[in-house]
Amino acid sequence: MKLLVDNNLPPRLARGLAALFEGDHHVIHIRDKFGTGSLPDAGWIERLGKEGGWSVLSGDRRIAKQKPSRELFLRAGLVGFFPLPAVMQLKLHDMTARILFAWPAMTIISETIAQGCFELPVKGKLRQMA
């Protein structure tokens, strides 16, 4: 899985996941990939879509909920994982534990569907967003 971690989540989360999964998965923070944290959503979405095969871990649920950005995201062929607000409020180590628990499902989803948006709840399975 190629996973971009967006600006709403800390770079050290991405770097920790990258170190943990080195050789198996490619994980990178948006600042490290594009050299800036201020790239508009449309810019990085289009660039990832052109590269192909990307999934995104994003703290910005508006991308998956608001029509123009959601359509662009799905049209770009991206798979998104969006932590619910309760997950975003967890301490970093608890948030990381939740992501690690969901990692096998995230990997399967990323490898088997062309595009989609999924909620990452505090407990339970990933849920596809309508």
Q: Cα(first)–Cα(last) distance of the chain, in Å?
A: 23
* Residue 31 pLDDT exceeds 90: yes
How many structural domains is the chain composed of? 1
This prediction's pTM: 0.96
Strands 116-120 and 2-5: unpaired
Q: Say which CATH number the domain at 114 has.
A: 3.40.50
How much is the pLDDT for 130? Answer: 78
Tell me the torsion sign for CA atoms 97, 103, 80, 2. positive
Between residues 55 and 37, the one the model is more confident about? 55
Residue span of the structural domain in which 51 resides: 2-128
